[in-house]
Each structure stands twice: as C-alpha cells, then as structure tokens.
Amino acid sequence: MILTSISLLVTAHVCFTSKSVVDKRLLISDQTVLHESITKLQAELQQLKAEVEQQKRSNSASSPSVSYVRWGRHSCPVGSSIIYRGFAGGHPHNETGSGASFLCLPDDPLWGAHKDGYNSYSGWIMGVEYEGGYFFDSTTKDYDVPCAVCLTPHSTSIMVPARNACFDGWHLEYNGYLMSNAHRHIGESDYICVDSHPDVIPNSQNNTNGAVLYMVESVCSGLPCPPYVAGRELTCAVCSQ
C-alpha cells in the first residue's frame, strides 16, 4: 500500500514536472513567435510607408498645375501656393529701347559673371511705380509695385481683360484693373492685371518715374461701343481651369 502511494506520488511529480517543462517551452516559443511577428509587421509597416510616400510623389508629379503672376500683391490667393515674391520691373517709360514686358523680379537675385557700371548698349529694367490708381482703396501713387508668382492646382490660366469675373467653368484667382504705360509715353509696355486691393513696397515712394503704371481706358476707335464705353477704365481677371 505504501509502495503504491509512493509510486503514485512519483508519477504525479513526473507528470507535473513534464507539464511545467512543456509550458515553459511553449511560453518561450510563444515569445519567440510574437517577437518574430512584431518584427515582420514593423518591416511591412515601413514598406507600406515607403510605398505611400512614393505614391504621393507620383501623384504630385502627375497633378496638373500652372503658374501666374499676381501683380500688386506680396502674397498668393487662397488655394494657390507661392513660388516666389518680389518687385515688378519694367522698361523706362521715356526710352524706346529695352524690353516691353513687365517682369516679376525675385527679392533674392543670384548673380553670374558681371561688370558693374552702366553700359550705353545694355538693356535696362527699373522698378515699376503706381501712377494712375484712383480706384484703389489706399494711397498708392509713386510707390513701387510688388508682385508674387503663384502656383495653382489647375492646368491652365488666362488673364481676361475688360471683365472682373471669370467665364462659367473657370476659377477666379484674382481680379483688378488693367494697367500699362501711358499712351503718350514713347516707351512701350505690356498690359497687366493689377490686383484691385494692391500692396505697396514700403518706403518706396521716391517718384523716380522709371517704369510706370496707369489705368487703361477703352477708346471707341475700331472698338465697338457699346458694349464698350469711351474713356471707361477696364477691369481684368486672372482665371484658371
């Protein structure tokens, strides 16, 4: 009887010990599997992140976008991002040479090889001043004109003269007034659309009269009146689609 009891106790101890060893092995095995699973998931997560970033870059590269100049402002409208800001530059109003286009010159120029000092046969570009801007909501006369080059997530942009709203299906970037050099000046210039709420370049009211901007009026000489009106200032709109 005693031997039987001892045998049962030994058997029970062996079984318990074996179960403990197995449990420990299972526990160690479970931890190893868990660690391997976490490592695998982390690797898959990094791979997915890389694929998402690649897709973002691909989408960005394939997304349509177009740039335009916002004349008279330091910033871009809501929905557009700024490429750079700067100063309007143009042709001297009392000279016949040089280019006729207004340019938005960046505020951080980079120089190449150069020789300082004016050359008699070089082109000139000067800051642009507001002259005739009597519909603007602030005093701008003789101040220099800022500008901003903007990027909009559309595929094309146009400047519509004689309208301060876009045609159906087009998005308004900004509107304003059509401006150019005065018709009596010997220098030529582009027509540009200056924002209806213009900024100025601070401390620039020097009245240097280099390149200048005046309102543009319609003239009934070959231009149908109506719908146009003699001597009326023309609006403008920059639109994208």
- Do 57 and 94 lie in one domain? The reply is no
Predicted confidence at residue 29, as pLDDT, reads 65
**pLDDT of 123 higher than 90:** no
Q: What is the dihedral of CA 128, 132, 137, 143, to 10 degrees?
A: 30
Choose the most confident range, by mean pLDDT, from 24-28, 59-63, 134-138. Answer: 134-138
Listed in sequence order, the residues at least 6 apart from 201 whose beta carbon sits closer than 8 Å to its beta carbon are 87, 127, 143, 144, 145, 146
Say if 119 falls within a structural domain: no
Q: Which of 67-71, 91-95, 133-137, 138-142 has the lowest mean pLDDT?
A: 133-137
Section 64-89 average pLDDT:
96
198, 175 Cβ separation under 8 angstroms = no
Section 154-166 average pLDDT:
97
Q: Which of 45-59, 60-74, 111-125, 150-164 has the lowest mean pLDDT?
A: 45-59
- Do 44 and 104 lie in one domain? The reply is no
Of 164, 194, 166, give the one whose Cα is nearest residue 179. Answer: 194
Section 142-159 average pLDDT:
95
Predicted confidence at residue 14, as pLDDT, reads 41
What is the span of the domain harbouring residue 45? 1-63
- In the chain, the number of structural domains is 2
- Do 78 and 18 lie in one domain? The reply is no
Say if 117 falls within a structural domain: no
Domain end position, chosen among 28, 45, 63: 63
The tokens for 71 are 């004349």
Say if 54 falls within a structural domain: yes
* 97 backbone dihedrals φ, ψ, rounded to 5°: -90, -165
Section 123-143 average pLDDT:
83
- Do 22 and 104 lie in one domain? The reply is no
Of 197, 241, 237, 190, give the one whose Cα is nearest residue 214. Answer: 190
Predicted confidence at residue 161, as pLDDT, reads 98
- Do 89 and 13 lie in one domain? The reply is no
- Do 74 and 32 lie in one domain? The reply is no
Calpha distance 164→146 (Å, rounded): 21
Section 78-86 average pLDDT:
96
pTM above 0.85, yes or no: no
**pLDDT of 115 higher than 70:** yes
Burial 18-29 (b: 16+ CB within 10 A, else e): eeeeeeeeeeee
- Do 12 and 86 lie in one domain? The reply is no
Say if 218 falls within a structural domain: yes
Q: Which of 61-70, 168-177, 211-220, 228-237 has the lowest mean pLDDT?
A: 61-70
pLDDT confidence band for 160 (50 / 70 / 90): very high
SS3 83: strand
Domain end position, chosen among 39, 63, 87: 63
Say if 118 falls within a structural domain: no
Say if 178 falls within a structural domain: yes
- Do 224 and 151 lie in one domain? The reply is yes
Of 123, 120, 97, give the one whose Cα is nearest residue 188. Answer: 97
